[in-house]
Amino acid sequence: MLLSELEPDAARREALIELAKKKHGYLVGRASGFGRKATDADSGMSWKTAVQYASLHLEAAETAVLLDLWPKAHQSLASAADALLQIGLPSGPAIAIILKDPHLDRHYQRPNDLISRWTLRAVSETTPDAERTSTLGSAALRQPQQLAYLAIANVGLDGGVSERFDELLLRLHAVRQAPFGRAALPIDIVLRIINRGPDPIDRVSLIDDAFQSVLQVLRAACDSIRQARQNGYLWDRLLSRGVLFDVDAALLLAVWLKQFDTQSRDKVRKMVEARLDAVDRPIAGPYLAAVQQLVGAVID
């Protein structure tokens, strides 16, 4: 259990686990309340309600990962992904595709067609009236962070990337210093991890770039956890601003792990841990193991 690995004191650890269980129940209950209101209104969720609903489920999923509640984590991720899809945000299908929502085909009919269509909209200067299906519109689709999610979704497709994927990457290169995720990592890290670029690059260089970027993601995750533990009063109440498990980081790590077969994975993990310092290593190892557990359907 990841949360157990983050707190060495047994009594304090048990108290944190109980508090995390209560927090998870609260988050799921709050999200369900938003869902019921939308159902009662019989008009679907507004984009504001959908964002609140998805945010609560994402935090619930992250809390479930801390507790090794994998079915509940996947259920919350699927709920968040569906809400984000409904308002036209690529973060939704990115989560569902990379984390392999078991109901993917039911919720995302023809996911390759969906991502291809959205990629075309993202790189087009104009949007046909027939494509204006999002309550947020194409402007939201073209935001740098959503373009990054769209690229992540593309590389997760079983049938290969969209026809206009290279144009999408060019747009991302133009905004490569824009922040991605709650850790505000530069989008350049996303580009390096997905192992693609607008120009031909030696394969060894690509692998090394991705590896160095994975180390940056893990170091950022360790920094966030240390920040959360720094104030004992807030830590004991799980009220610290530092994120203990980040779905955005999990997406990036899952994309990277996907390229390795089962036999190579242990070796890769040892390589990663060997490159981290003694301060980060005790956190990064369990963190990466939690990501592997969460996205097992992708990498096994």
In tens, the pLDDT along 76-115 reads 999 999 899 888 899 998 998 887 665 555 555 677 888 8
Report, as an integer, the average pLDDT of 174-197: 89
Task: Give the least confident one: 17-31, 146-160, 200-214, 227-241.
Answer: 200-214
Instruction: Give per-residue burial for 261-299: e unless 16+ CB within 10 Å, then b.
Output: eeeeeeebbeebeeebeeebeebbbebbebbbebbeebb
Q: Domain for residue 100, yes or no?
A: no
Residues paired with 180 in a beta bridge: 185
Q: Domain for residue 95, yes or no?
A: no
pLDDT confidence of residue 265 = 75
**CB of 143 closer than 8 Å to CB of 91:** no
220 with 286, same domain?
A: yes
Instruction: Indicate the residue among 87, 122, 151 that finishes a domain.
Output: 87
Task: Give the least confident one: 100-109, 206-215, 231-240.
Answer: 100-109
169 with 209, same domain?
A: no
Angle between helices 281-294 and 203-230 (to 10 degrees): 110
With CA atoms as reference, report the closest residue to 189 among 210, 167, 219: 210
Instruction: Indicate the residue among 129, 156, 175 that finishes a domain.
Output: 175
33 with 72, same domain?
A: yes
With CA atoms as reference, report the closest residue to 244 among 294, 288, 287, 185: 287
pLDDT > 70? residue 126: no
DSSP string, 234-247: HHTTT--SS-SS-H
Instruction: Indicate the residue among 142, 157, 175 that finishes a domain.
Output: 175
> What percent of the chain is predicted at pLDDT more than 70?
84
- Tell me the pLDDT of the chain averaged across its residues: 85
196 with 256, same domain?
A: yes
With CA atoms as reference, report the closest residue to 142 among 97, 178, 193: 178
Q: Domain for residue 151, yes or no?
A: yes
pLDDT > 60? residue 41: no
| Number of C-beta neighbours around residue 122 at 10 A | 23
Per the structure, how many domains does the chain have?
A: 3
Task: Tell me the one-letter amino acid at 104.
Answer: L
The whole-angstrom separation of Cα 41 and Cα 32 is 14
121 with 67, same domain?
A: no
Compare 101 and 50 and report the one with higher pLDDT: 50
The whole-angstrom separation of Cα 201 and Cα 195 is 10
pLDDT band at 259 (very low <50, low <70, confident <90, very high): confident
Q: Domain for residue 81, yes or no?
A: yes
pLDDT > 90? residue 169: yes
Full residue range of the structural domain in which residue 162 is found? 109-175
* List of residues 6+ apart from 75 with CB closer than 8 A: none
> What percent of the chain is predicted at pLDDT more than 90?
55
Compare 27 and 300 and report the one with higher pLDDT: 27
216 with 263, same domain?
A: yes
Compare 205 and 197 and report the one with higher pLDDT: 205
